[in-house]
Amino acid sequence: MNTQQLMASLADQDTERLLLAAHARGTQSTTTELGSDIGEEPDYVSELARQLKQVNLVEFLETLGEDYVELSPTGRSVARKIEQSFASGGRRTEAIRRGVLEAMLNKGRVDSMALAQNWTGRHVDPPVDHDEVAQAFEFLKKNDMIRAEGTWQGVFLGIGITSAGRDALEQGVRLVTPGSAPTINDYRDMRDQSNNLTQHGGVMGAVGLGNQNTITGSVTMGPHEVESVRQDLQSALSMVQDVPEIDHQLVTEAIEDALEEVEKDEPKPRMIRRCVDEGLRALSTSTGTAAGASLVGLLQGVLGTL
């Protein structure tokens, strides 16, 4: 599995909690220590570690005494991306939306300002602010998961949770779906976005290089464009290892970063373009090969969509 697939498979799982706890410790740790960190028994931590070992995210040493867990290089990379997602990406959005739903379920009536000031959902860093909570209220109201009214001050007054909201909590419905196309159950807000576009001048081989000429204009990514870019990037990711004589890790990370941006509620074309450009620069020596030319062409197609 690639990084995006690993992150998707770990989302909201105890294995993710263990991975992040091991990353926070930064060194080889016992299952007793990690169990204390995540509130689980050592035997269960060992079971989780075995699962993570199967996908090469940890090194797991079992002894007659303690069992030991240490992140692999891949595990550290995935943990960093998950932490970034909780700081400013899809996992943060998911946690805040779920926190609002849980507050509505437990309290019945909640206002967004009071909830932001006394956040009861999952701890995230940096702390939740009112704008984020208000955006979550707006999303949940739009998708008929809560009943709420907005005020002229920008505060939302939550009146109650709907059956759809209860179902989302009880069934563990993802409120932001990582690494997959939207479905009827995703409740994904695919609003069109407008952003500025930076176009690069000069061409070397098949890769755009040279001086940057900034063109200020409106670029709209609707649901069809988002899905097209997602599919092309996923295809490109699967082709990287077939291209000879390149820095595979650099190209892979550039494409994965672009995919991570695509999965956000409000993907920014300029950020996707920046990641794709980085991948194309790393591919500049590969255009003489069939695999390299195919991958470059696919990524340039992504730029064309943006």
The 10s digit of each residue's pLDDT in 225-282 is: 888 888 889 888 888 888 988 888 889 989 988 988 888 878 888 889 999 999 999 8
Sorted by where each begins, the domain ranges of the chain are 3-86, 89-170, 194-305
CATH entry, 89-170, from 1.10.10.10, 3.30.1330.10, 3.40.50.300, 1.10.1740.10 = 1.10.10.10
Retrieve residue 60's tokens. Answer: 């797991």
Give 117's pLDDT tier (boundaries 50, 70, 90): very high
Q: What angle is formed at CA 198 by the lines to CA 192 and CA 201, rounded to 5 degrees?
A: 145
Of the given ranges (195-199, 242-246, 268-272, 302-306), which has the lowest mean pLDDT? 195-199
Residue 220 clears pLDDT 70, i.e. is over it: no
The answer to whether residue 183 scores a pLDDT higher than 50 is no
Exposed / middle / buried, residue 159 (Cβ in 10 Å: 0-12, 13-18, 19+): middle
Assign 89 to helix, strand or coil: coil
Q: Is the pTM of this model over 0.75?
A: no
CA 75 to chain centre: 16
List Cβ neighbours of 118 (8 Å cut-off, separation of 6 or more).
Answer: none
pLDDT at 210 over 60: no
Spell out the CATH class of 3-86. Answer: mainly alpha
Within this chain, domains 3-86 and 89-170 share the same CATH topology: yes
User: Residue 23's pLDDT is what?
Assistant: 95
